[in-house]
Structure 1
């Protein structure tokens, strides 16, 4: 990248860097800052399914499962600004939220959101963040009872500070239907793409070990910074018969100026896609733009799922899927 037009650094020789040059400089500076602050070894929680913070069955909806199940995924930067995040969650154009996937959380923020929404929850910390002095992990919140909570410790450590990544998963007991759901957060691009794909494949292999559940949702922050990384993530999921519901929504972060990556995705197995989109301007997220995703699934009592009414349900700029 050349920012000056000649070798003579005299007055008048400078040109204004292009937007693309600014963008890539911001990426380099951002990664450099991460390198500086991340050299101290991280405390990881490597015990199987421990420590755990949970309230699996405290709340049970008075109503029975109807034709609509809505799911939202939200990355809240380091579990901060919880009050603002709650304000934004309450402001979502969703009449009746059922499930919330959270990334970059700690146990206090998870419990606060769950209590405010009257949701059950499961949170597994994967590491202790030394800078923010708090635990760091993913959570699943549901107004429906949860069961079978598990923590997946992903392979490979972050360079320099040895930080681990993980996925939190549980079974949502949606009436007689059991839905296996994963809240995912892959490593940032300080790690090579091949190793991040190995993290994804670890999750996919873990899912395939469970051959008793037909309805699976995989959502969260995949840290796919560039187009080739998005292609790799999508290809590996589609090869395992997952549907990419967020296809075509465009970037989900504008943190790096004109370099606007698609970091966040929703995949599923056993659901029919209806619509997709994105919500913008979430101040509690790490970016000025954060992808917030929802899923709508239609059921018809005891009738065959394949006979369910396929009425299109639309809210502004959200994702919708239909169960089959």
Structure 2
């Protein structure tokens, strides 16, 4: 969402018109996109060697975190290194570039996969990542339809399947388009992600920045996921972005095949305009 907050700012009845106008006035540049389904792709594994445990975990925690052009990596590492975020088994990140993802994974001792979606206005790559304390056994880039009509910015989802003591668990990091493309297009993007991973694993989480800032968009997004059998696992956590126009509920976590037992938004400074969202799930025994 950082792109939309820096280039477009508005709310309720005047939101869409103001978003369009500010897009023109601020001159947000056209952004080159990576539409190849195979890449570029970056991955690594910095998990420490540990004795093999006999039993699986009683719970699994997922965090979604938009780091705002991956600029404040030191602050991000600090946030992710203290509770409740330090309990994360899997982290879905957006607005990332490869060096930032690798540094965070290295410092936290996690495996990762990263795909860029486009090149941001600062010249750095701009994409999604999944980091995990468990081995990543498969991954997929999901190209989303409806590039931004004014800036041509491409958006993607990144799906990663992790192995938790022999049980596959899939987490998808999503960054939907801003309201400038319209609600129908963003719902189409969300459904594209759902269809791409449908049936890939018994336990699935789709998390990220859905850019649900305009009236009715969050309700419609939740309805769509519900129709596909997903629960709004982060329901009730509140706004996830503090902007000049007030709080915005942009980041969500949806789950299928898992039961959420706790959730929240980490309100501490995190190096981003977004506040990380975490959900802890009971892990099937």
Question: Does TM-score exceed 0.5, indicating one fold?
Answer: yes
| 2:3 match | none
Unmatched segments (≥5 aa) in structure 1: 1-20, 301-324
Unmatched segments (≥5 aa) in structure 2: 1-9
| 2:255 match | 268
> Does the C-alpha gap of structure 1 residues 107 and 296 become closer, same or farther in structure 2, counting only changes over 3 Å?
same
Count of residues paired in the alignment: 274
1:251 aligns with 2:227: no
SS at match of 1:277: strand
Q: Pairwise mapping of residues 1-324 of structure 1 onto structure 2 (< 5 A)?
A: 32-37=21-26, 40-56=29-45, 59=48, 61-64=50-53, 65-93=56-84, 96-129=87-120, 131-208=121-198, 211-258=199-246, 260-287=247-274, 290-300=275-285
Which has the larger strand fraction?
A: 2
How many angstroms apart in 2 are the aligned matches of 1:161 and 1:39? 7
How many angstroms apart in 2 are the aligned matches of 1:241 and 1:22? 30
TM-score, normalised with respect to structure 2: 0.87
Cα offset, 1:28, TM superposition: 6.8
| 2:6 match | none
> Does the C-alpha gap of structure 1 residues 80 and 39 become closer, same or farther in structure 2, counting only changes over 3 Å?
closer
How many angstroms apart in 2 are the aligned matches of 1:174 and 1:60? 15
Cα offset, 1:226, TM superposition: 3.0
TM-score, normalised with respect to structure 1: 0.77
How many angstroms apart in 2 are the aligned matches of 1:95 and 1:43? 34
Cα offset, 1:97, TM superposition: 2.9
Work out which structure has the larger RCO, using CA pairs closer than 8 Å and 6 or more positions apart in sequence: 2
Segments of 4+ moved more than 6 angstroms: 21-30
Confirm or deny: 8 A CA contact 2:46 2:105 kept in the other structure: no
> Does the C-alpha gap of structure 1 residues 23 and 122 become closer, same or farther in structure 2, counting only changes over 3 Å?
same
How many angstroms apart in 2 are the aligned matches of 1:31 and 1:256? 17
How many angstroms apart in 2 are the aligned matches of 1:22 and 1:183? 26
SS at match of 1:158: coil
Q: What is the RMSD computed on CA atoms of the aligned residues?
A: 2.5
Confirm or deny: 8 A CA contact 2:63 2:91 kept in the other structure: yes
